[in-house]
Structure 1
Amino acid sequence: MKKITSYLLPFFAILLFSSTALSQKVGSSSMQFLKVMPCARATAMGDAYSVLASGAEAVFWNPAGVALTDKSEVSLTYLKWIFDTQQGAFSFSMPIGNFGSVGVQVQYVDFG
């Protein structure tokens, strides 16, 4: 019994770890435009903006940041990429009295 266990334990360990080591990244090449952020300040900070996001831009980064809005804000973004690819974004946030805030964002991508 001890001999069987000494063979089975390494076999199952190799089997368990080889599946994750040899797995492929399926579906990682589509929708790459989602990685481009529609905010120059956040991109300049290396996309480490979730904690600092407030106002209209917070709708995209951290929706809870909209609660910090003390006045109405609008953010418009237009990006022109290679091969006539274009991306645009519109975001709006405004406080609603004592109830908190509301925010809306719309994005589009045109692949030419």
Structure 2
Amino acid sequence: MIRKSGVCLVLLILAAFARGDVDESSGTMAMTFLKIGIGAEAISMGESVTALTGDLYAAYWNPAGLSYVQQNQIGFMHGEWFEGIKHEFAGFAHPIGQVGGFAVTVNYLSYGQIDRRDTQGNL
């Protein structure tokens, strides 16, 4: 019994010092397009909008926020990035009485044309 208590105590101490943080550089090398936000309000607030609710863009940031949608909403967004990258968004949100709301959204990213090269580097 004492041995089990000792093992549990050691495991508890080790668990207390375990690191559970996320590396700040995650997502900086591949698939950074997944970090492209939508909505002027959200982007202007540095994308710290998880608690904001009641509009169409909650479908992207925090779907639970759709429960506060009060009226029909339609939203569109167009963004142009470097090298011909284009980001498009369209969405519609509809309240469902006291139950909540639902949204239909389309999020599209176009990266233009990529030149194909052979093993010698020719186009």
Check whether TM > 0.5. yes
Q: Larger helix proportion, structure 1 or 2?
A: 1
1:8-32 CA distances to partner (integer Å, 9 max, x unpaired)?
xxxxxxxxx9xxxxxxx79752221
Task: Find the counterpart in structure 2 of residue 37 from structure 1.
Answer: 37
Per-residue deviation, 1:52 = 1.0
TM-score of the aligned structures, taking structure 1 as reference length: 0.71
| 1:99 maps to amino acid | V
1:38-97 CA distances to partner (integer Å, 9 max, x unpaired)?
111111111111101322110001101100011000111110001110011112110123
Task: Find the counterpart in structure 2 of residue 104 from structure 1.
Answer: 104
- Greater RCO (CA < 8 Å, at least 6 residues apart): 1
**RMSD value over aligned CA atoms?**
2.0
Structure 1, unaligned stretches of length 5 or more?
1-16, 18-24
Distance 2:26 2:99 in 1: 43
Equivalent residue runs for 1:14-93 within 5 Å: 28-93=28-93
Q: Aligned with 1:67: secondary structure?
A: helix
Contact 2:53 2:68 in 1 (8 A): no
Task: Find the counterpart in structure 2 of residue 6 from structure 1.
Answer: none
Change over 3 Å in CA distance of 1:28–1:81 after alignment to 2: closer
Q: Percent identity?
A: 29
Per-residue deviation, 1:104 = 1.6
